[in-house]
Amino acid sequence: MFPKAKIALFASGSGSNALKIIEHLQKEANFILFCNKAQAPVIEKCLALGIETVVFNRNDFYQTQVVEKYLAARQIDLIVLAGFLWLLPPTLIAQYPKRIINIHPSLLPQYGGKGMYGAHVHQAVFEAAEAQTGITIHFVNEKYDEGEIILQKSVSLSYPPDTPETIARKVQILEHQYFPQVVAQWISENFTKDVE
């Protein structure tokens, strides 16, 4: 028997990636959802699965250490950002070296940085008529989208038929395929050693 990893999923939108990770890693991990939008669909989906859910606001996150205290109290091993757009406080990053993983819907360093998220990325890729796009899964540091890259996967584009919507769909397919794999890999490297 291996111990289960305790994973904090930070998400603020539909939560499709968070749900894929939960679905694929039920045996290997326990999850808590951290969400900064009280109306985000991801909350209802996680509650339906019986997943503990913590909602916080900007003041909680940046002016108090309530989120950090919660993570520490729950002895969280890994933080996974699955559609979370706020920059993390430096104190939080310092507490979890190589233990915070983000997914970004482009081939970083292209189309990264503040304001580049979700549909904005796909629109920019389309307008530049890029021949390819993809995903980047990376550790988080104190700058937007600049942490050490763990995995990138690309997909070809052409015009026609590609549009911002088809680009988004192609990227989402990659995200759903590879994000759970990367988290599983992190767990196997950090939780299956030294255990009888």
- Give the footprint of ligand GAR on this chain (CB under 6 A): 11, 13-18, 82-83, 85, 103-105, 117-118, 175
Catalytic residue among 24, 104, 122, 176: 104
Please, which residues have CB within 8 angstroms of residue 129's CB and are 6 or more apart in sequence?
A: 159
* Coil, helix or strand at residue 96: coil
Angstrom distance (rounded) from CA 178 to CA 191: 20
Q: Among all residues, whose Cβ is closest to ligand GAR?
A: 83
* Coil, helix or strand at residue 140: coil
Is 14 or 95 the residue whose CB approaches ligand GAR more closely? 14
Q: Is the peptide bond before 97 cis (omega within 30 degrees of 0)?
A: no
Angstrom distance (rounded) from CA 36 to CA 55: 6
Is 5 or 82 the residue whose CB approaches ligand GAR more closely? 82
- Least separation, in Å, of the C-beta of 49 and ligand GAR? 15
Is 179 or 186 the residue whose CB approaches ligand GAR more closely? 179
- Least separation, in Å, of the C-beta of 32 and ligand GAR? 16
Half-sphere CA count of 174, side-chain side, radius 13 A:
22
Angstrom distance (rounded) from CA 78 to CA 54: 16
- Least separation, in Å, of the C-beta of 26 and ligand GAR? 18
Is 65 or 154 the residue whose CB approaches ligand GAR more closely? 154
Angstrom distance (rounded) from CA 129 to CA 105: 16
- Least separation, in Å, of the C-beta of 13 and ligand GAR? 4
104 is catalytic: yes
Residues assigned a catalytic role? 104
